[in-house]
Structures are given as C-alpha cells and as structure tokens.
Amino acid sequence: MARIGIYGGTFDPIHAAHLILAREALECLQLRRIVFVPAAISPHKLNQKPTPAAVRLEMVQAATRDDADFAIDDRELRRPSPSFAIDTIEEFLREDPDLEIYYLVGSDNLPRLDTWHRFDELRKLVKFVVLNRGTIGVTGSAFTTIRRQIDISATEIRNRVATGRSIRYLVPPAVEEIIRCHKLYQEHTR
C-alpha cells in the first residue's frame, strides 16, 4: 500500500511555509510523496477571485520542480469549479484503490473542516493531517498535527507585492520571477 500526502489549496501564491511543512509531513509520516493539488476555486473562498489557474499552476510547478518527492496534479483545475476534496480523493482511489491517503490541511481550515462537502465520507477515505505554522493554535484536534513556527502567509505576500516590499526568501526565486513577470498582486489583497 502506497502512503501519499495530498496537499490541496489555492496556492496563491505557493510559499516557503507550504514547502517546509510539506517536507516535514513527508518525513514525519514516512510518505512516498506529496502531491500538490491546486484548487480551481475553493468552496470557502467563492467571494474571492484567485489568480488565474494556469499562473498558480506555473508557480507550483516552479516551486516544486527540484524536489523528486513532490508531484503536482492539476485535475481540480480541469474540472468545473468549485473544487471539492471528496471528488479528488474518490478519483485518486478509483485510479489506485491501494493508496493510503494523508490529506494535508492548513490549521486555518480546522475550525470549518466539518463543513466541507461530504465531510463524513471524506474522513473515512483519508487521514487528515493539520499543518500548523504556529500562527493559529491547534488545540483538541483529533488529527495528526505537523507543527513548525513559520509566520508566512499568502495574504502577507500579496500585500507585500502590492506595497512594493520584497518577498525574497518568502517564496522560491522562480515563483518570485513569475509574480514579477505576470505583474501579480499589484493591488492589496481582497
């Protein structure tokens, strides 16, 4: 049975904390690989317009290309939105019923996790893993938690770009280049 981590999210943009916590989960849980799955539109962010999917996918590809333990799956970008985790997990399991899936979620998702589409079915198919950057406390969670004190957020990065401040070291250099070339995040975060 192959143990993999599925890391879904808008990744707008992907940043160092995403990568550090993904690596930590891979090693702590002894996973074969981490699969980044960019969402078309998060059901919990329907009022926000994300950066175009192709550009977010390009950033995830650039950020992960040098790590053989990281893979990318764009199925949610090819499906009609919004992106539901249960649909993605069911597809993965149809393709390989022997997968043991660890579903990585940021600690900011924890308070509303039970509101996810078909959550009771989803929690029977995966083992949830909470990625805690230390910016939001996780108490009383029944899920495995991977914790590293990393105070970096996509919102902060978008706001730094909008105000002309550096994002060096917050995102991989290739992602910083994509942000610059596409002139992303020129206005304050929504």
- Which neighbouring-strand residues pair with 5? 34, 102
What CATH code is carried by the domain that includes residue 56?
A: 3.40.50.620
Question: Is 158 a member of any domain?
Answer: no
Question: Is 132 a member of any domain?
Answer: yes
Q: How far apart are the first and last CA of the chain?
A: 42
Locus of tokens 């649909």: 87
Q: Residue 142: which domain range? A: 3-152
Question: Is 15 a member of any domain?
Answer: yes
pLDDT at 38: 97
pLDDT at 134: 77
List the chain pLDDT tens, one digit each, 190 residues.
Answer: 899 999 999 999 999 999 999 999 999 999 999 999 999 987 666 677 889 999 999 999 999 999 999 999 999 999 998 889 999 999 999 999 999 999 999 988 888 999 999 999 999 999 999 999 875 556 667 899 998 889 999 999 999 999 999 999 999 999 999 999 999 999 876 5
Nearest residue to 160 via CA among 125, 184, 126, 130: 184
Question: Is 176 a member of any domain?
Answer: no
8 Å CB contact between 73 and 37: yes
pLDDT in tens, 79-117: 998 889 999 999 999 999 999 999 999 988 888 999 999
Question: Is 65 a member of any domain?
Answer: yes
Question: Is 14 a member of any domain?
Answer: yes
8 Å CB contact between 60 and 36: yes
8 Å CB contact between 90 and 125: yes
pLDDT at 139: 60
Question: Is 190 a member of any domain?
Answer: no
Question: Is 54 a member of any domain?
Answer: yes
Q: How many domains does the chain have?
A: 1
